[in-house]
Amino acid sequence: MANWTSIASFATAGGTLVLAVATFSAVRSSNRSARIAEESLLTAMRPLLVPSLSDDPVHKVLWHDRHTARVSGGRAIFEEEGGVIYLAMGLRNLGTGIALLHGWHPMPDQAFEDRPHAQAEEFRRLTIDLYIPAGGNGYWEAAVRDPDDPVRPDFMTVLTKRQPFTIDLLYGDQQGGQRTISRYTVLPAGDDGWYGQVGRHWNLDRPDPR
């Protein structure tokens, strides 16, 4: 005669196992859907900065000491006045999210060299927040004011000899995430001006494409 108690126990255990498997599958599916949704959201917020185009609008750049300059599309500012070295560069955001610039890392003694980027904490922080809209253009600006700044001698050399140099920019989305480092080379133009070109991008908060 069948042991209905044992049969009932096995049936209950089997049902519990099936329910556990179904729950596990549902949780995995839910987590996967959440990750996909999060990635889609981040993609919609992701900025990517390159030099502005030659036909982009001219931007008036104002430093806190009231020094001013106008940076045209695709151009850069590199000049010295009153012991202060002023730098600026026209930028265009190819990404789908607003770009918030965080800092810069100067390498006046380098140009066209394939070297690793500095760590984020080594970047010089900007004194103001600079935003560039998605699909729009704007600029980056900075200055070297300290007479004892270690980059000053090399900057003065490349300025006098009109040699190319490297600037790394650190930026992210409007919430401060998705940090990216983009490397630019600033080169002398034929009309005594300067222009910028981008060489490489690094992702800091997600897998790097390389």
pLDDT tens-digit series, residues 12-28: 666 666 666 656 555 56
Residue 176: left if φ>0, alpha if ψ -120 to 50, beta else—which one? left
Instruction: Round the average pLDDT of the chain to a whole number and report it.
Output: 87
Reported pTM: 0.80
What pLDDT was estimated at residue 176?
85
Which amino acid is residue 167, in one-letter code?
I
For the record, the structure tokens of 3 come out as 């042991």
Which amino acid is residue 17, in one-letter code?
L
- Is residue 147 helix, strand or coil? coil
Q: Which residues pair with 142 in a beta bridge?
A: 87
Q: How many CB atoms lie within 10 A of CB 169?
A: 24
Give the helix/strand (H/E) hosting 170.
strand 165-172
What pLDDT was estimated at residue 20?
60
